[in-house]
Amino acid sequence: MRVGFASDHGGFGLKSDFLKRLGELGYELLDYGAYEYDASDDFPDFVHPLAVALREGEVERAIAICGSGIGACIVANKVRGVRAALVGDSFSAHQGVEHDDMNFICIGARVVGRELAYELVSVFLQARFISSGRFLRRVKKIDNLDLGLR
């Protein structure tokens, strides 16, 4: 699975750790920045290109890490086809994929600990969308909203 990552300074250390740990598990990882720690960088500069890459099919799942995760989530959801959520618990990490076809997870590096954050990412990457019945119907409604349809 091709997985894209982005972070600002608030999530830089955690992202660096994820790239190493997940790379060892065989995921194909693409880093959309930040590439070095810079306390004055801005998360939209990294999260938006990642969200576009997800929309364009360059990556199958996306992970953004900033201080709270909130800003990254707001930016990601500005891109059509992205279904991003701020996640802080394991249930939401898999249920968001299974029920809502979440394809982008946002994590607050200053909110959740390193091991919980790794668990959230692992659960997110292993989950699969239940593409039938009410779940498929609901995601189609979400997609229609992206197109300006009701």
Report the candidate in 34, 35, 37 with the shortest Cα–Cα distance to residue 47. 34
Residue 106 is among the residues annotated as catalytic for this protein: no
Catalytic residue among 9, 48, 94, 99: 99
Catalytic residue among 9, 66, 73, 94: 66
Q: Using an 8 Å Cβ cutoff, are 82 and 48 in contact?
A: no
Residue 99 is among the residues annotated as catalytic for this protein: yes
The span from the CA of 53 to the CA of 44, in Å, is: 14
Residues 6 or more apart whose Cβ sits within 8 Å of residue 91 = none
Q: What are phi and psi of 22, to 5 degrees?
A: -75, -30
Residues 6 or more apart whose Cβ sits within 8 Å of residue 100 = 83, 85, 135, 138, 139, 142
The span from the CA of 1 to the CA of 61, in Å, is: 8
Q: Enumerate the active-site residues.
A: 66, 99
